[in-house]
Amino acid sequence: MTLQQVTASPIVSQGGECMSSFYDAEGNMVLACSGHLRFAAATSDAIRSLMQWFGRSPGFHDGDQIFFNDPYVAGSHTYDMMIVKPIFHRGKLIAWTATSTHTADTGGVLRGGAYEIFHEGICISGLKVVERGEFREDVFRTLTEQCRDPQYVGLDLKAMIAGNNVCARRYLGLVEKFGLGFVGAAGEKMIRDSESKARAKLRSLPNGIWVTRQYVTTLDRKTRRSVAQQLFCTMTKKDDELRLDFTGTSPQTDTDHNSTLPSTIAHIALALTNTLFWDVPWSDGKMRPVKISVPEGSILNCRYPAACGAAPRIGNVLVSTVCEGVAKMIYASGRQEDVNASTTGNLEYVGGPGYFYGGHTREGIAVAQGLYDIHGAGMGAAPYRDGVNTGGHMNIPSAGITDIERIEMQYPFLYFTRGHNRDGSGFGQHRGGLGSYRMYLIYGSKDCSVDYKPYGGVAQGGFGLFGGYPTGLSATRLMALAGLEMLDRVSKGESPDPDSIRARAWGKLHHPEGVPERIALPEGSLLVDYVAGGGGFGDPLDRDGEAVLKDFGRGWVSRESAARIYGVVLDANGKRVDGEATMQKRQQIRESRLREAKPAAGKTSSYDGNGKKELKTILKFHAALEIAGDRKSPVIRCQRCGHLFCSAKENYKLYALHRVVDLKDFMPYPLPTGEPYIGEYHEYFCPGCATQLQVDLYCPPLGGEPILWDIRISESRP
């Protein structure tokens, strides 16, 4: 609360990108009070490094506060700033407290242009900004004057100092009330409890291996085109331990699209806290049962001095990659209320103008770089309900988006609207939560600029569950050179919308040559941007027709998607579901699945005969599939129609009906640049009842096994 009241940053005060937390004398986290969970998972390493490097010289004293933002030690990028404070009692160091914020600027080149960490502004491994209780103006000015808006950054620093002061004072109040021995022992117990609760949760889950693969894209500086990268995770759960191996992840890049190992570990901890360990106290103890292996030189463990400004973007996809495996594992344990599809499903149009701005406002004030409408993402669907529209950001439990009026005060923008993306979330029996879009005009600035990325042509960072789609199909980033004269049209009652902007009704669409890292935003530029939607759950043909009708009435699903994806036919007025036509449409879709899809194994079952419904259910690991039979020779069976696929030790997808759909045939619009899509959906259906079992994304240019063996349960009960 102190952080958010003192800061000037909308990222912190409204976006929730901040943290306060407590540590024991050795730097182990006892408890985090976190807005942004990745901060809570990163600071322990920073404190232990400070103790190792500076414990003797210059040493730590009562009243010290130390600034730190080196992402190769802790944090994700130089914009993750933290200040740590040792807590002394009667001359003895007894604990630490720390505060962190995502700060708008650290100097250096504007976002998108860095080749090395040296380009990304100040990178400090430890400076006392407060020494023995005295505020050091020399250090403070040295840090802030390297930034474009010293007052803005300075208030973030003072907010962190103020937060530490409050936390340290309250901690000492506990010591005075209960005694040092009790408070120390309570901290140790909290860490032990976290570990024991985490191990107990793991023991309650089935043993097995879950494999996930997701994609990101970045700029190839040699060809000036988009290049795809993959994040590959093999998650092995055995008894009370969980191992995550990222072998198969793409190599690091020469852009800022890299993650340091500390950032990767922090995001893994974040993902597990969101889903698996949500009911485990937030201390370092919860991660002790988790073993992590990340190849050095990959985009998840880049070698110094690689730039890493975009590490949180990779981190979001990493969180989704880990959460996909965890969601499938949790479902197999029977905890359906804990299962969610992805919340970071970026649609295929990812690319174009970004949201890290530069320049000045109409008052001549430097523009803070980030605009965090991304905190209003759509949440993933669950086994029993739709995802929440613009529900938040899984990385930040208390995330929010900034008031438009405040944005217009601090940025050279005029907003026209925020709205939900029609067809913008993963389709399914339960659809994902809708993301949003925004339209705004550059107004009052002659030097505004923004980062720019190539259009990727492949969905990034999303997953659907058990037949649900990873993303929707309607969102885009566009820039039209509308000019200020468009305001005359607006004053007469006209209003821009994404379709009319795409149709060039409000000016020429702008696609810069050569895909530069940043582009100018001339005054009068009209932009459309979007926020990710959630993934879907289950076969879309199982969605209740009245739910589709309700979504149509609200403008959340188009008539075309209602029929094509959900098989729901609406009457001419869009006021009711045509029941007979819907039944026929869904039957036609099922028949096309059976007709067009073929099993990769050449047959639909590894058994002679089928439909052995007398087999006893052992484990329901999927919304439509189960392991059945006896424990010596278990099989995989459709729960709906009884179709037997194969042994439980085989990949059921080899015997499922398999259809490949190129994204160019799935998406309603081509990429804005006219470039081809580079991804495809692999759809799997039950040969008996045509239920859609899984929709996987695959990127052929990167290679690898197209038919991913994602679920390998080795022991149905631990």
Give the mean model confidence (pLDDT) for residues 234-263.
97
- Where is 264: in which H helix or E strand? helix 261-275
pTM higher than 0.85: yes
Show the DSSP H helices in 365-445 as ranges.
404-410
pLDDT value at 611 more than 60: no
Stretch among 154-158, 187-191, 236-240, 673-677 having the lowest mean pLDDT: 673-677
Q: Mean pLDDT of all residues in the chain? A: 93
Q: Which tokens sit at 323?
A: 């959460």
pLDDT in tens, 56-110: 999 999 999 999 999 999 999 999 999 999 999 999 999 999 999 988 889 999 8
Find out whether 552 and 600 touch, Cβ atoms under 8 Å.
Answer: no
Spatial distance between the Cα atoms of 47 and 51, rounded to a whole number of angstroms: 6
Q: Which tokens sit at 445?
A: 């600035």
Find out whether 63 and 132 touch, Cβ atoms under 8 Å.
Answer: yes
> How many other β-carbons are positioned within 10 Å of the β-carbon of residue 701?
10
Spatial distance between the Cα atoms of 321 and 213, rounded to a whole number of angstroms: 7
pLDDT in tens, 572-582: 999 999 999 99
Give the mean model confidence (pLDDT) for residues 384-389.
96
- Beta strands 290-293 and 241-245, pairing class: parallel
pLDDT in tens, 449-485: 999 999 888 988 889 999 999 999 878 888 999 999 9
SS3 call for 322: helix
Spatial distance between the Cα atoms of 351 and 128, rounded to a whole number of angstroms: 40
Burial of 611: CB neighbours in 10 Å, binned 0-12, 13-18, 19+ = middle
Residues with Cβ within 8 Å of residue 34, at least 6 apart in sequence: 19, 20, 21, 40, 282, 397
Task: Grade residue 718 by pLDDT with cuts at 50, 70 and 90.
Answer: very low
pLDDT value at 570 more than 90: yes
